[in-house]
Amino acid sequence: MARSKPGDVKRVVVWSTGGIGSLSIVAVNERPDLELVGVWVHSEEKVGRDAGQEYEHFGLGLPGRGARADAQLRTLLELLRGGQVTSPGRSTRIAPAPTSGGPQLFIGGGSLAAARRAGRFGLGLIAQAATPGLNDAYAQACRESGHEPGFVQIPEPGLVTTMFVADDVDQAWDELGEHLLHDAVTAASYRHGEGTVASISTATTVAELRDDPSYRIVTVDEAIERIRSGAILPLLPLCAGLDPEIAWAYLRRAVDAVERARG
- Please work out, in degrees rounded to the nearest 5, the angle formed at the alpha carbon of residue 18 by the alpha carbons of 240 and 102: 70
Residue 183: Cβ-neighbour burial (10 angstroms; 0-12, 13-18, 19+): buried
Same domain flag for 137 and 184: no
Same domain flag for 107 and 137: yes
Same domain flag for 176 and 258: yes
pLDDT score at 22: 59
pLDDT score at 210: 96
Same domain flag for 173 and 254: yes
Residue 86: Cβ-neighbour burial (10 angstroms; 0-12, 13-18, 19+): exposed
Same domain flag for 217 and 238: yes
Same domain flag for 135 and 167: no
Same domain flag for 183 and 241: yes
**Contact call for residues 255 and 184 (beta carbons, < 8 A):** no
Residue 67 covered by a domain: no
Residue 132 covered by a domain: yes
Inter-CA distances, 153 with 204, 223, 257, Å: 27, 18, 22
Burial 102-130 (b: 16+ CB within 10 A, else e): eeebbbebbbbebbbbbbbbbbbbbbbbb
* DSSP 8-state code for residue 146: T
Structural domain for 29, as ranges: 10-56
Report the greatest alpha carbon distance in the chain: 62
Same domain flag for 202 and 146: no
Residue 62 covered by a domain: no
Of the three residues 94, 121, 154, the one that is the final residue of a domain is 154
Residue 23 covered by a domain: yes
Same domain flag for 150 and 167: no
Residue 209 covered by a domain: yes
Same domain flag for 235 and 172: yes
The string of DSSP letters for 19-83 reads HHHHHHHHHHHH-TTEEEEEEE-S-GGGTT--TTHHHHTTT--STTHHHHHHHHHHHHHHHHTT-
Where the chain has pLDDT below 50, the residues are: 1-6, 42, 47-48
pTM (global) more than 0.85: no
* End-to-end Cα spacing for the chain: 60
- Strands in the chain per DSSP E: 10-15, 34-40, 84-87, 90-93, 106-109, 124-127, 152-153, 162-166, 215-219
Q: How many residues does the chain have?
A: 263
Residue 206 covered by a domain: yes
Same domain flag for 241 and 186: yes
Q: Are strands 10-15 and 162-166 parallel, antiparallel or unpaired?
A: unpaired
Of the three residues 154, 178, 196, the one that is the final residue of a domain is 154
| Number of domains the chain contains | 3
pLDDT score at 246: 96
Per-residue pLDDT tens over the stretch 110-132: 889 999 999 999 999 998 888 89
pLDDT score at 61: 64
Same domain flag for 179 and 249: yes
Residue 95 covered by a domain: no
pLDDT score at 236: 93
Residue 110 covered by a domain: yes
